[in-house]
Amino acid sequence: MTERIVLAYSGGLDTSVAIGWIGEATGAEVIAVAVDVGQGGESLETIRQRALGCGAVEAYVADARDEFANEYAMPTLKANALYQGHYPLVSAISRPVIVKHLVKAAREFGATTVAHGCTGKGNDQVRFEVGIQTLGPDLKCIAPVRDLALTRDKAIAFAEEKGLPIETTKKNPYSIDQNVWGRAVETGYLEDIWNAPTKDIYDYTATPEFPPAPDEVTITFEAGVPVAIDGVKHTPLQIIQEMNRRAGAQGVGRIDVVEDRLVGIKSREIYEAPGAMALITAHKHLEDVTIEREQARFKATVGQRWSELVYDGQWFSPLKRSLDAFIEDTQKYVSGDIRMVLHGGQAIVNGRRSETSLYDFDLATYDTGDTFDQSMARGFIELWGMSSKVASGRDLRVQGK
């Protein structure tokens, strides 16, 4: 039986050429796998037909938008995940769901190898291959660009020679990856980190310098998951899409950062994540009133480590699974409403309400009705500072000798 290779297929030039390139280099049959995670553009059927037209023996396509929103974006939201305090893991959380479908397709079609279009410099090669090794430890991995010398100029020449049904003459100066959680742009003009992003880079967000009238929105959460906007129930996917539209119209969620890649390179990245950043802001403010202080402090540490693991391609790792359990436990009482104003590139919270709130008005108020017993403060302060006081006395005693 002829060997079969499953290829992560986007429908673009490089992966379209990779179908024939892999076949000629290995003698294997290629099964193209396209997964819709909300990246927009062409329909799955159009992409399927293109894959077949480029020589794939089978084409597996999956509408994974709800799966991605429910099982990948929502855990990211619950973790308030921002790699290096900035990046909401736009690409990093899409790779595990694609990996899941690649392995599923490999089993379905009897493939022994999985191929992806990543280079040897980026994070995605790690995310794909570590994920594949974890879910399908018997499967091999190849990367045509990295392992089979498939450069872009060779791809264009190959496509023209074979008459492949794919545009080969236009070249976007940027590398772009997008899904419903956000959009990532890199390379080209942006590689000089002194260069400011130009307007043509952005697609999910309008310029914040000239915003429309302020947009006030109320987001309802149940156990850490957004379930309604302005009182209207929606699925997680619909909520992300609606917040992309509303926050994006106000220029919310533009990120320009130099980040530390897993391979040790610093890389300049431009991100657009209007819905993600607005939802993370709202979720964090609701946690502020519903999660106990020490639990909240520790969760911030857990969220940072969770973000690093996911960025580094460890979505399926034991540690990430354990951190998931902690984060999920913290979300038990994260229910209620957050009111926020979207305007001029900012999402500013101005109202909070929750039946599970830890905010006690009678304890917090300085006015009549205050139930806080201020006589407790003196003894509390004395005990709280006791160890520092004793240490300070020791220092003065020793220094005085």
Active-site amino acid positions: 14, 95, 124, 175
Is 14 labelled a binding residue?
yes
Residue 250 DSSP class: T
**119 annotated as a binding-site residue:** yes
From CA 223, how far away is CA 82, in angstroms rounded? 20
117 labeled binding residue: yes
**Is 198 assigned a ligand-binding role in the annotation?**
no
User: Per the annotation, does 300 bind a ligand?
Assistant: no
State yes or no: 195 annotated in a binding site: no
Beta-bridge mates of residue 4: 29
Cα distance between residue 183 and residue 328, in whole Å: 27
Q: How far is residue 128's CA from residue 295's CA, in Å, rounded to a whole number?
A: 33
* Backbone angles phi and psi of 337, in degrees to 5: -120, 140
Contact 5, 142 (CB under 8 A): yes
- Beta-bridged to residue 58, according to DSSP, are 31
Residue 8 assigned as binding residue: yes
State which H helix or E strand residue 245 sits in. helix 236-249
Q: Is 311 annotated as a binding residue?
A: no
CB 348 within 8 A of CB 278: no
- Pairwise CA distance, residues 13 & 25, whole Å: 18
- Does 175 belong to an annotated binding site? yes
> CB neighbours of 267 closer than 8 A, spacing ≥ 6?
186, 258, 259, 261
Contact predicate 240/196, CB 8 Å: no
- The verdict on whether residue 188 carries a ligand-binding annotation is no
167 is in an annotated binding site: no
Q: Which of 348, 80, 338, 337 is nearest to 211 (CA)?
A: 348
Integer Cα distance of 226 and 239 in angstroms: 7
- Ligand-binding annotation for 15, yes or no, is yes
Q: Is 239 exposed, middle or buried (0-12, 13-18, 19+ CB in 10 A)?
A: buried
| φ and ψ at residue 290, rounded to 5 degrees | -120, -10
Pair of tokens at residue 368: 């009549």
**Residue 259, annotated ligand binder?**
yes
The verdict on whether residue 182 carries a ligand-binding annotation is: no
- What is the DSSP pairing of strand 266-272 with strand 140-142? unpaired
Please check if 9 is assigned to a binding site: yes
Residues 293, 299, 304, 305: is their CA dihedral positive or negative?
positive
DSSP SS3 for 356: coil
Please, which residues bridge with residue 353 across strands? 337
DSSP code, position 196: P
Q: From the annotation, which residues make up the binding site for L-aspartate? A: 119, 123-124
Q: From the annotation, which residues make up the binding site for ATP? A: 8-16, 117
Q: From the annotation, which residues make up the binding site for L-citrulline? A: 87, 123, 127, 175, 259, 271
Q: From the annotation, which residues make up the binding site? A: 8-16, 87, 117, 119, 123-124, 127, 175, 259, 271
